[in-house]
Structure 1
Amino acid sequence: MEHRLRLRRQRGHHIAGQRGERREAQALRPYHVLEAPLATQPSASSMPFFSVALGPTATSRVLAGHPALAFTELAGTQGLEPGRPLRLLSPQQDVVGTGIADPENECVRLIAREELHALDARFFRARVAGALALRRRLGLVEPEAAFRLLHGDGEGLPGLSVDLYGSYALITALSRGLQIVGRSLAEALLLELPAAGIPLRGVVVRARLKSKGKTPEKAKDEVIGEEPPEKLVVREHGIPCEVHLLAGTNTGLFLDMREHRRGFARFVRGARVLNTFCYTGTLSVAAARAGAAQVTSVDLAAGTLAWAQTNFRLAGLDPADPRFAFVESDVFRYLEQEARGKQRFDVIVLDPPTVSGARASSWSQKNDYPELIRSACALLPREGGHLWVSSNTHAGPGVRRYLQQAFERLPRTASILEEGGLPPDFPTPLAAPETRYLDVCQVRVGPES
């Protein structure tokens, strides 16, 4: 495949966002389209294997199925290049697994509990084929559908993921070294999916790097195959939604929330709904389509509120309908102001970012979530209502603990109606429960005492 080289750069504005430090809205990231055949680009298949010795504890972790080993658990990791394939040796010098060096994250990603002799197209196509078979059983493979095609931690490629958006795929790699592996994975996708009857036009390979200080470090996206349009419409449970594959870290649709958006509809018929940190309004659309009497969407960024209104229109809803409101505001300020008025909501959605510098005093999920829950409860009717609460457990103890901390200081009772986490297209290793990062609770709040 021959591709011309193109570079695009455009300054983006930063906004507060769900489960991420910051988000860029409607602004293209730097990226390039590979100008040479993939065979001439650095890839996992072009790098020879090195051997790394493990101690007894690290060997046990490999055999138990952990997705990664820290460099501190290994010997001889100095100078390992990013993306280098590794043979992992037990104290008896037996090969117990195969890994990939990820020095940016100071770890080795474990891709097999056996010796692999080549990370070639056959290996990657087998991983893709196995992942695709599961998604077919789940009924996710449909025209224009959006879902996670491969969740690396639980499917033999830790540190990598593949999201399918209609005819385009987005590979996310957690380091530059894994982005090299992502090229080989992209090649496998472009071979395997069309052979399986899925028309894949192009693949974006994106490195999501660790932040250094307050500014997230960025790497250029790579586009392999056909460049996706700047705005693309996909469908979730038949509902259209606009996504931006080339604009920022997030695309506008959190695929791990798919089943929660559908389940949310059960609780909102005839209700007054407040969606805070609404981002692109996908939960607001779910509420409006389910027959909510009123839906108010609040976000600090005008760009994402406009995007949310686009999603309303795509779903056959008129954003100018008086039942719907879109409010550009800091959420804490909005809750404080509305608590002094008469407006009340039956259902309030809290899906805040992990951290954000958007508030005058910066937000931290770990430290500020209980306060957010208490502030939201002030907008529930005196006779009670519902909270829909989510968090990223990588950044704190989880929703249940935040709720306990909040209600210790509230004159109300609370009952958990439903709990959930990741959907089945996000499989995680039994040996690494910490990788199940999503925590969602539907809570019934009792009357004021």
Structure 2
Amino acid sequence: MSALPAVRLRTGRDGPPRGRHPWLFSGSLESPDTDLAPGTAVDVVDSNGAFVARGLWNPHSQIRVRLYDWRPDGALDDEFWRKGIAAAVAHRRDADLLAPDGGCRLVFSEGDGLSGLTVDRYARTLAVQFTSLALWERREVLLDALRRELSDAPGVDGAVLRTARGIREEEGLDISDGPLFGRVPDGPLEIVEGGVRYGVDLRTGQKTGAYLDQRDTRQAVAPWGAGRSVADLCCYTGGFSLHLARAGAHSIRSVDVSAGALERAEDNARRNGLDGWLADGRWTLERSDAFRWLEARREEGVRFGMIVLDPPTFARSSRGVGQALKGYARLNALAVDCLEPDGILVTCSCTGRVSAEQFLEVIAGVERSSRRRIRVIGRLLQPADHPVSPTCPETAYLKCVVCRVGS
């Protein structure tokens, strides 16, 4: 018999937790306003008192309990967290993703069974995000486990805390970004991805500094841009653009709403010996909202041989899915209007609440409304360091569809 306090589910609400989905919201609980301290380990039981799962309690969060263990005899002790970190790092090592000068996601929250913890590795420095108050309270054992698992070559010099937007309020976290241990670079550090060099600013860059989830996609789609005029929308620091330039694109126009991101994209161009592209106008960096920029190009009658769309998430909850789908439809329709016949559209969605099937239906809708023949020639998902939990569909968040657009 467990000595942990029990949190009881409402009648008929045991399906998702028994199915090993890791989030329990307040509406699923019979008595959500318990006096338990935030971070307390609890047993979740069904309406008859039978054990369902074990997790960590947080009365401040919409996710009242994050579930981690479905074994009645399990324990959320220090050894449990050490084993979780060890398994996550071993997977990346087995996948040969720990190159000394590379970047990869070491811990992918629910995808690694560690809901509320994300760790990205940039060469010898870690960027850490806690989206769970309970795991923040267990940070010492988690960080110690990371140091231990990475003690072999290439090793790690330090770690910095990066907090996701709004998470302090959502989780009741009182934390500030800054070094967690060791030495952290004051300015951008450099990583290499498929022969391309990136400067990554771990203190001010979006997310943890870079978008590692598009690593495979950037390299896979680059050959399609050879000889084509390319528009790279929501380009951030030029990830797709750099690979497209190396693959022989005729010209590139990179667009982002962030002036800081464009400054880093210009720095990345120089890191890769592409100063000449900037000087002679083959590669231009333009600050604009993607929708307005495409509308202007459509009015001008400008057409491209390839357009890349990699916007930020359009919905953070299920309530926003309808508007997100409308946004994707409008953005992709504008892009198709700006493509030459036989042009290539690379369109991405990182909205976890939008399924791959829904996103493909958006493309189908654009074909119908534009009356242009669209054929999907590639479908790409997130890489191996962003593993998908089949019991948590939200982890399968990244979709990339490559299309050939006819006349």
Q: Normalization by structure 1: what TM-score?
A: 0.78
Matching of residue 289 in structure 1 with residue 246 in structure 2: yes
Give 2:26's match in structure 1, choosing from 71, 94, 98: 71
Matching of residue 379 in structure 1 with residue 335 in structure 2: no
Give 2:282's match in structure 1, choosing from 310, 313, 323: 323
Distance in 2 between the 1:218 and 1:297 partners? 37
8 Å contact kept, 1:275–1:350: yes
Displacement after TM superposition at 1:143 (Å): 0.2
More helix per residue: 2
Which residue does the alignment assign to 1:204? 160
> Residue deviations 1:346-399, cap 9 Å, x none?
10011123359xxxxxxx643332222222222212x33111001133354543
Q: SS of the residue aligned with 1:402? A: helix
Displacement after TM superposition at 1:56 (Å): 6.6
Displacement after TM superposition at 1:241 (Å): 0.8
Which residue does the alignment assign to 1:434? 394
8 Å contact kept, 1:276–1:351: yes
8 Å contact kept, 1:399–1:440: no
8 Å contact kept, 2:353–2:394: no
**1:251-400 equivalent positions in 2, closer than 5 A:** 251-318=208-275, 319-341=278-300, 343-355=302-314, 365-381=324-340, 383-394=341-352, 396=354, 398-400=358-360
Distance in 2 between the 1:390 and 1:54 partners? 38
> Residue deviations 1:101-138, cap 9 Å, x none?
23313331111112433521x32221121112211221
More RCO (CA 8 Å, sep 6+): 1
Distance in 1 between the 2:205 and 2:241 partners? 22
Query: Structure 1: which 5+ runs fail to align?
Result: 1-47, 357-363
Give 1:160's match in structure 2, choosing from 117, 124, 131: 117
Distance in 1 between the 2:168 and 2:41 partners? 26
Against the structure 1 CA distance between its residues 49 and 337, is the aligned structure 2 distance closer, same or farther, given a 3 Å change threshold?
Answer: same
Which residue does the alignment assign to 1:5? none
Which residue does the alignment assign to 2:366? 406
Displacement after TM superposition at 1:209 (Å): 5.2
Displacement after TM superposition at 1:157 (Å): 0.8
Query: Structure 2: which 5+ runs fail to align?
Result: 316-322
Against the structure 1 CA distance between its residues 259 and 80, is the aligned structure 2 distance closer, same or farther, given a 3 Å change threshold?
Answer: farther
**1:215-226 equivalent positions in 2, closer than 5 A:** 219-226=175-182
Against the structure 1 CA distance between its residues 93 and 330, is the aligned structure 2 distance closer, same or farther, given a 3 Å change threshold?
Answer: closer
> Residue deviations 1:1-53, cap 9 Å, x none?
xxxxxxxxxxxxxxxxxxxxxxxxxxxxxxxxxxxxxxxxxxxxxxx953323
Identity %: 32
Q: Normalization by structure 2: what TM-score?
A: 0.86
Distance in 1 between the 2:361 and 2:223 partners? 25
**1:104-253 equivalent positions in 2, closer than 5 A:** 104-114=61-71, 115-120=73-78, 122-194=79-151, 196-208=152-164, 210=166, 219-229=175-185, 230-247=187-204, 249-253=206-210
**Matched residue type, 1:117:** A
- Give the RMSD, CA atoms, in angstroms: 2.7
Displacement after TM superposition at 1:182 (Å): 3.7
